[in-house]
Structure 1
Amino acid sequence: MAGVLLTPEQHIFVTERHLATLTTLRADGRPHVVPVAFTWDADAGLARVTSKRTSMKVRHIERAGEQGARVALCQVDGGRWLTLEGVARVRDDHNSIADARARYARRYRELSDDPERVVVVISVDKVMSSSYMSRG
């Protein structure tokens, strides 16, 4: 069951082909912001980001352990913006990676096989957006 519901305008926005930024926290609390591609699973209320196992964002999230780490995912296009906040966990099992690759291919392009690939799965619990995309 979805943790949040997006407005129709927000849902369209997160299915258009855009990049976003993912903000994680370093061990000292400073933000680490990197560009990412992501997919939105409306049914489950999950955002997914594929990454290399050795990336800093993955290390920051893994440091939090199985409880997960708070993150923010922000997509911007001109005056339109949307931020998805939630708890991120890293998944490296075959099914999670295959599912994330299939979703990524629908939104962006096919991903090549990569034994270092993992998936950052974000359980979204808060949405913020530009005023015309807000729940009003």
Structure 2
Amino acid sequence: MSREPLELPATTRAFLAHPHTGILTTLRPDGTPHVTPVRFTFDAVTGLARVTTRARARKARNVASGGAAARVALCQADGFRWVTLEGRAVATDDPAHLAEAVHRYTVRYRAPPPAPPDLVVVEIAVDRVLSLNL
């Protein structure tokens, strides 16, 4: 997925580099929100956020059922500072995409993610960034 680099202030990039937990919001098929804590990575150069999960997890199924129009929001907060990354999402089990996601997760959190047999990566092509107090 080749994209233009996101123009983010240095303070926002630095905040997103901290290994906090985020909150991922997806939409269920009936349109209601599903909100769940996740560990994630974000590449400001490509504008791609990644969340590893199980294929049968509600968040992955929500993304898959949304097709090309699946939009999600991923928020990282620390006290009164927060950043929300919004964009279109896809869930894939492509080995190259999974390897990249696992590598980035391991670097960020200093341990590999869980590795269930149905591991997928939700890739979010970030097109909107909202923040406060950064």
Structure 2: state its 5+ residue gaps. Answer: none
- Residues 7-86 of structure 1 mapped to structure 2, 5 A cutoff: 7-65=9-67, 67-86=68-87
Cα distance change of structure 1 residues 88 and 53 upon mapping to structure 2, 3 Å threshold:
same
CA distance in 2, matches of 1:12, 1:55: 30
Secondary structure in 1 aligned to 2:30? coil
Amino acid at match of 1:80: R
Partners of 1:32 and 1:112 in 2: CA distance:
21
Residue 99 (structure 1) aligns with: 100
RMSD over aligned Cα atoms: 1.2
- Conserved in 1, the CA contact under 8 Å of 2:5 and 2:44? no
- Identity value in percent: 47
Task: Answer whether contact 1:3 1:125 (CA < 8 A) is retained.
Answer: no
TM-score by length of 2: 0.92
Who is 2:4 aligned against?
Answer: 2
Distance of 1:112 and 1:62 partners within structure 2:
21
1:79-132 Cα offsets, whole Å, 9 max, x none, are 1100000000011111000000000001112235432110000000000000x3
The Cα of 1:3 is off from its aligned counterpart by 5.5
- The runs of 4+ residues in structure 1 deviating greater than 3 Å are none
Unaligned runs of 5+ in 1: none
Equivalenced residue count is 131
- Preserved contact between residue 21 and residue 74 of structure 1 (Cα < 8 Å): yes
Contact 1:89 1:120 in 2 (8 A): yes
Once the two structures are TM-superposed, the CA of residue 12 in structure 1 deviates from its matched residue by 0.7
The Cα of 1:29 is off from its aligned counterpart by: 1.0
